[in-house]
A and B are shown apart, each in its own frame.
Chain A
Amino acid sequence: MTAAVEITGITKRFGDVVAVDNIDLTIADGEFFALLGPSGCGKTTTLRMIAGLEFPTQGSLKIFGDEVGTLPPNKRPVNTVFQNYALFPHLNALDNVAFGLKMQGVDKSTARKRALETIDLVQLTGMDARKPSELSGGQQQRVALARALVNQPKVLLLDEPLGALDLKLRQEMQGELKNLQQNLGVSFVFVTHDQEEALTMSDRMAVMNDGKLLQVGSPEEIYEHPANRFVADFIGQTNLLEGRVLDSETVCLANGAHVTGTSDLPMGTEVAVSLRPERAHLGPRDETHSRQAAVDGVVESVTYLGNARVYHVRFDWMVIEVREENRPGATLHEPGTPVSVSWDPSAVSVVAD
């Protein structure tokens, strides 16, 4: 099957700044793909290059097998949902949605009919005569979505589409977007800096930093097996226990403690053992741990989250975060209590720079 988007060796420079640095990326047809990274990592530039709003400095960009790298945006079979929507303020919702069809020369009555259908699809029935300024943020978001979808793009590009919405609405829209994508079967390429959003919505995701593509994979692969220190740290919460590789099974931490950590890196490589807070367990020092890795520490502070408590445990030179679910009967460890932090050796991953 032909890939929806195929990026090969794409680089984008703005003057001396390399915004996107020689990336290769393939996005399958019908896939919900998230481009994730901190601001300035090049994810938006990558999206804009797919849209045609920026031209790559170098490299090949194919959409369904056709090279499009040098085509203007109006000649590409993709549409964009812009950050903050970029709705036309002088047009009402209907004319905003019908804009693309009219520009393609679709006759007025057909354009109107299809626009109204799409407005229904995004659940804005009856709002068609309103100007963007008369719509709430969530409604504007839906208009922006309809305005892009009405053109039946082969790939829909979304640039932080939920960033301007409040938490509740954002979670609602996440579900809706996902449903919409599955029903339409169109590839969505979704740019976000919110790792949780990327994890919950995407089929596959790419993590970017400094213009480089660090890792591509399913949310599960990326969370469970981060390719390097940055990915481990950026996706979810984690404790990075600094150390060196001792052998393929063991990492010697900076304070000399040995913990189990599987890696195929050469001996002596500086690494970190990535321990997710929810995978560590807190217990009294005297408890015996069968087949568990453990380090001893002292509780420094506790943060109450409602559904969980996060303990900050002082362990020699660093503080380890441990998350304990707030179950009935969960032991409460007061600050100052000597404790042992333990985990299943298979629950950690060893990451290098």
Chain B
Amino acid sequence: MTAVKLPSDAEAAVATPEFEAAAIRQESRRGFLLAMPSYAYLVLFFAVPLVIVVVYSFATRNRFGGTDLSGWNLASYARLSEPIVRDILFRSLWLALLTTLICLVIAYPFAYYLATRTPVVRNLMLVFVMIPFWTNFLVRNYAWRVILGNDGPFTDVTEAIGLGERELLFSKTAVVLGLVYSFLPFMILPLYAAIERIDKRLLEASRDLYASGLQSFRKVLLPLSMPGVIAGSILVFVPSLGAYVTPDILGGSKTTLLGSYIVTQFLTARNWPFGAALSFVLMAVMLTTTVVYFRKGGRTL
């Protein structure tokens, strides 16, 4: 087809199918150009490194802690069935799941409360939810170390109420506490967005149709806020599963989680192929959970 010159805004002409087609092509070209920077960035810094990780996971560690890229094998994946690795995997999964559940239980009532306030109160509360983000993540985790540590405020409280000197630091509880603290906002925000969107008259309608408050929640509010529940759960579960900083600072050496274990493989054990294999499995687990979860809540999303 011959190139059609698009008239500029100033030129008026009779419309033709060629002109229309050219205009549509130009529009889609423009869209591609707009997306170009992010495409380039993602390919360069996400897709390419990901391929490198996959390639390394099939390679072999040599005696000097380097990586031989010849001789492909599945040895790194075979190691996943070792009891110690399996324990770490399941512990990580369990703690991530627990974190997600606790976040959900805490965040839901708060998100509902938020969604039913006046806009002024709402925005103020949202700012409060965001405030922790203004401080460095690492600093906040160290703050928890002080709170939970020896002679910290937590111990003072347990002593004061007669429970004796209790210490939470370096335990699974401390890790979950830290994770919940870190990722709670990621649960609150999508839940708030989902609940805020629901027509509150639907709740009135359910009450008018003889539902008790609880039934109204179970039959109307919860099903309609499912998109928020799913989005929030993924946003909390995924980073909890791969969390490194919080378990490392609050969990100590007794509670090794996947994130720390992977770091150890790369930095201390210098076993890059095994670290790569672990990373890849972690990603696969996250992807599967996400897909399954989205499918389940599918139609409402």
Contacts and interface: CB of A to CB of B under 8 A. Distances in A.
Contacts of A151: 209-210
Contact of B300 (A52, A73, A90, A148): A90
B204 interface: yes
Contacts of B219: 99, 103
Interface in A34-75: 51-53, 72-74
A261 interface: no
Contact of B204 (A73, A78, A99): A73
Interface stretch (A19-27, A81-89, A190-198, A315-323): A81-89
B11 interface: no
Nearest to A89: B224
Nearest to B300: A90
Contacts of A73: 204, 207-208
B interface, over-half SS: helix
Contact of B202 (A53, A86, A104): A86
Contacts of B201: 82, 84, 86
Given A90-B300, A103-B215, A79 B208 contact: yes
A100 interface: yes
A303 B201 CA distance: 43
A225 to B, nearest CB: 36
Contact of B211 (A53, A74, A82): A74
B212 A80 contact: no
B69 to A, nearest CB: 53
B206 interface: yes
B56 to A, nearest CB: 46
Given A100-B210, A103-B215, A86 B205 contact: yes
B224 A90 contact: yes
Interface in A235-265: none
A82 to B, nearest CB: 6
A82 B215 contact: no
A99 B215 CA distance: 11
B33 to A, nearest CB: 36
B215 A53 contact: no
Interface of B: 199, 201-202, 204-212, 215, 219-220, 223-224, 300
20 contacts: A52-B208, A53-B207, A73-B207, A73-B208, A74-B211, A79-B208, A82-B201, A82-B204, A82-B205, A86-B201, A86-B204, A88-B202, A88-B205, A89-B224, A99-B209, A99-B219, A103-B210, A103-B211, A103-B215, A148-B209
4 smallest A-B Cβ distances: which pairs?
Answer: A100-B209, A103-B210, A86-B205, A86-B201
